[in-house]
Amino acid sequence: MDQSADLTNKVHEHGGRMTPQRAVVLETLAGVSCHPTAAELHELVRRVLPEISQATVYRNLKVLRDLGYVIELDYGPSAARYDATVADHCHARCTKCGRVVDVPAEAVHDLEGAAAVLDDWRITGQRLEFCGICPDCAEDCN
Ligand SMILES: [Zn+2]
Ligand SMILES: [Zn+2]
């Protein structure tokens, strides 16, 4: 899909709520797969908008999360990471460097079967996370 056309549609759909600044924050997040923290994303957004403050990036991330365009991965108050992939998927997190990578939901067998056990629940999502040492960190140990 043409990402920028898609973003233009989103700006259109949400009228004033999707400001150009906000669209840049979303576009930047969508362009990386590293699940950055707000501080890391701020560094990336500044390449496009040098004047933008971290508080503005943070505020926009909260709005985008509330609009459903961004997932916030909660690793504690100052360590939240952000993800523009909102389709169902899982994560693997390196316990050494903190990087988070995507694991496609299809790769995790019987996630739906697991949810089916909770048949009297109204399931709104799942949060399955693998933990381990990423290849880069594993190399450092040798
Ligand atoms: Zn690592
Ligand atoms: Zn993800």
Q: Pick the residue with more confidence: 31 or 117?
A: 31
What CATH number does domain 89-141 carry, 3.40.190.10, 3.30.1490.190, 3.10.129.10, 1.25.40.10? Answer: 3.30.1490.190
**pLDDT for 113 beyond 90:** no
Tell me the CA–centroid distance for residue 140 and ligand 1, in Å. Answer: 9
Tell me the CA–centroid distance for residue 129 and ligand 1, in Å. Answer: 15
Query: Where does CATH 3.30.1490.190 sit in the chain?
Result: 89-141
Q: What is the pLDDT of residue 106?
A: 79
- Ligand nearest the Cα of residue 133 is 1
Beta bridge partners of residue 71, listed in sequence order? 83
Q: How far is CA 77 from CA 36, 38, 42, 56, 80, in A?
A: 14, 11, 17, 17, 6
Beta bridge partners of residue 93, listed in sequence order? 100, 131
Query: Where does CATH 1.10.10.10 sit in the chain?
Result: 3-83
Mean pLDDT of 4-17: 60
Tell me the CA–centroid distance for residue 130 and ligand 1, in Å. Answer: 13
Residues with CB under 5 Å of ion ligand 2 are 83, 85, 102
Helical segments of the chain, H only: 3-13, 20-30, 38-46, 54-67, 111-116, 135-141
Tell me the CA–centroid distance for residue 100 and ligand 2, in Å. Answer: 7
Tell me the CA–centroid distance for residue 115 and ligand 1, in Å. Answer: 30
Tell me the CA–centroid distance for residue 6 and ligand 2, in Å. Answer: 19
pTM of the model: 0.75
Q: Can you name the CATH fold of 3-83?
A: Arc Repressor Mutant, subunit A (1.10.10)
Please enumerate in sequence order all residues whose Cβ is within 8 A of that of 91, keeping only pairs 6 or more positions apart, or say none. Answer: 35, 73, 100, 101, 102, 103, 128, 129, 130
Banded pLDDT at 1 (limits 50, 70, 90): very low
Tell me the CA–centroid distance for residue 75 and ligand 2, in Å. Answer: 14
Q: What is the pLDDT of residue 37?
A: 93
Q: What is the mean pLDDT of the chain?
A: 84
Tell me the CA–centroid distance for residue 108 and ligand 2, in Å. Answer: 14
Q: What is the pLDDT of residue 7?
A: 60
Q: pLDDT by residue (tens digit) across 27-85?
A: 999 999 889 999 999 999 999 999 999 999 999 999 999 989 999 998 876 789 999 99
